[in-house]
Amino acid sequence: MFLVSEAEKPFDWEEILGVYKPQSCNLRAACCSVSTPSVPVDELMKMAADGDEFSRDFLSVFLPHANHQAARDFYPEQPDHIDRVLEMVSGQNTKVKMDPESVVFYHCQYLGENRLCQVYEDRPAFCRKYPSSPLNILVKGCGYEGWVASCKAKLLSLGYEVSGG
Ligand code: SF4
């Protein structure tokens, strides 16, 4: 899940926490297959119309899955991810409160059959920066899980409450 509030004005988490991301992911293409922004689609479209760069770029490459089951089927490596996100957004302690029915999952139109990006050299900035925040909900097995865990441990050690997956 992309935290849209942070995509608009991203913190430089690596600099702030001194925890540096790996140079590349493990190429499982989970974020390209079952992504979801932390706002409903009508809000995302309004933000794009108002010139928000992240929303515009997101909608320029991603296509919505027809429904939650279609998203599960599209990424069978981690079918539980969809339910994990839906559970988290409806939980009590979540940073992202959403009606699960309004959550839309997307897949990128440039993802090849081999699960490789077909426009890798020209991919949008948000793909290059992903995950822009350690509070994003990652698919289990994502190559950035270690970075997220280290950032959360650092935040906890500094006395911050940490939510997200
Ligand atoms: S443009 Fe490439 S890296 Fe970005 S979401 Fe699409 S397939 Fe993934």
- Which pLDDT tens digit goes with each residue over 27-57? 889 999 999 988 888 999 999 999 999 899 9
Q: Dig out the tokens for 118 from the structure.
A: 């077909």
List Cβ neighbours of 48 (8 Å cut-off, separation of 6 or more): 55, 56, 58, 59
121 alpha carbon to ligand 1 midpoint, in Å?
10
Tell which phi-psi region holds residue 137, choosing left (phi > 0), alpha (psi between -120 and 50) or beta. beta
Residue 39 confidence (pLDDT): 86
Nearest alpha carbon, ligand 1 atom 5: 32
Higher model confidence: residue 101 or residue 10? 101
| Contact in structure between 115 and 28 (CB atoms under 8 Å) | yes
Q: What is the pTM of this model?
A: 0.85
Best residue among 31, 123, 126 to mutate for probing ligand 1's pocket (most ligand atoms within 8 Å of CB) is 123
* Separation CA 30–CA 142 (nearest Å): 7
Atom of ligand 1 nearest to the CA of 120: 2
21 alpha carbon to ligand 1 midpoint, in Å?
18
Q: Dig out the tokens for 42 from the structure.
A: 């009508």
Whether pLDDT at 92 is above 70:
no
33-42, 59-68, 97-106, 124-133: which is most confident: 59-68
